[in-house]
Structure 1
Amino acid sequence: MARTPREYLWILTFAVLVVFAVPWFLWGDGRVVAGLPLWLWWHIGWMCLASGVFYLFTRSAWDRGMGVEA
């Protein structure tokens, strides 16, 4: 089964979500915002973004490759 450009876009999207889930560039940064380290705020925001992307995936491409009609 050949992949469509849309499937490659979802693969790329999830790869970006995984790569930036851990804020490597903020390690060793001691800044604190509202009582929490900045890297923790990044993680909280990133998980909210990942949840939104996963929601969009379930609404648009969840059944891809399963032979199920939407």
Structure 2
Amino acid sequence: MADLNRDLVWIPTFAVLIVFAVPWFLWGVDRVVAGLPVWVWWHVGWMCLCAVLFARFAGGAWDRGMTVDFGPTAGADGDGGSGAEAPASGGGRTGDRGGDRPDGGERA
């Protein structure tokens, strides 16, 4: 139930952030404050507010609605691996020169 309440807070919060991201109510206003138009100050304040709210969202509700499994069965290939192949030669060791390129650089 707490997760549903959290969703019911974040959904309208992001809707408001999206609606007021463009200061449509400041169109045609040519007022200047501290050398910059008011709409620029709106964007500065709005970006600060968005940064604070997104940090709070990322800290507590980021994984809502996602099914992320970092366990051994997370591999997409079905064998429980990460889907990445092991290096063909050298095994990733620094001192092994067998897998180097002819120009002296190491393979990625």
TM-score band w.r.t. shorter chain:
0.7 to 0.9
Distance between the aligned counterparts of 1:67 and 1:27, measured in 2? 42
1 or 2, which has the higher helix percentage?
1
User: How many Å apart are 1:6 and its aligned residue?
Assistant: 1.5
Alpha-carbon deviations, 1:11-49, whole Å to 9, x = none?
A: 110000010111111110010011100011001100110
| Equivalent residues in 2 for 1:19-38, closer than 5 Å | 19-38=19-38
Shift >4 Å, 4+ stretches: none
Matched, 1:5 2:5: yes
Q: Which has the higher contact order (CA 8 A, sep 6+)?
A: 1
Matched, 1:60 2:60: yes
Stretches of structure 2 lacking an aligned partner (at least 5 in a row): 69-108
- Normalising by the residue count of structure 2, what TM-score does the alignment of the two structures yield? 0.57
Secondary structure at the counterpart of residue 4 of structure 1: helix
Distance between the aligned counterparts of 2:27 and 2:53, measured in 1? 25
Secondary structure at the counterpart of residue 58 of structure 2: helix
| Aligned residues with identical type, % of pairs | 65
- Normalising by the residue count of structure 1, what TM-score does the alignment of the two structures yield? 0.85
Aligned partner of 1:49 in structure 2 is 49
C-alpha RMSD of matched pairs (Å): 1.5
What is the total number of aligned residue pairs between the two structures?
Answer: 66
Distance between the aligned counterparts of 2:66 and 2:23, measured in 1? 34
- Give 1 or 2 for the bigger CA radius of gyration: 2
User: How many Å apart are 1:67 and its aligned residue?
Assistant: 4.3
Stretches of structure 1 lacking an aligned partner (at least 5 in a row): none
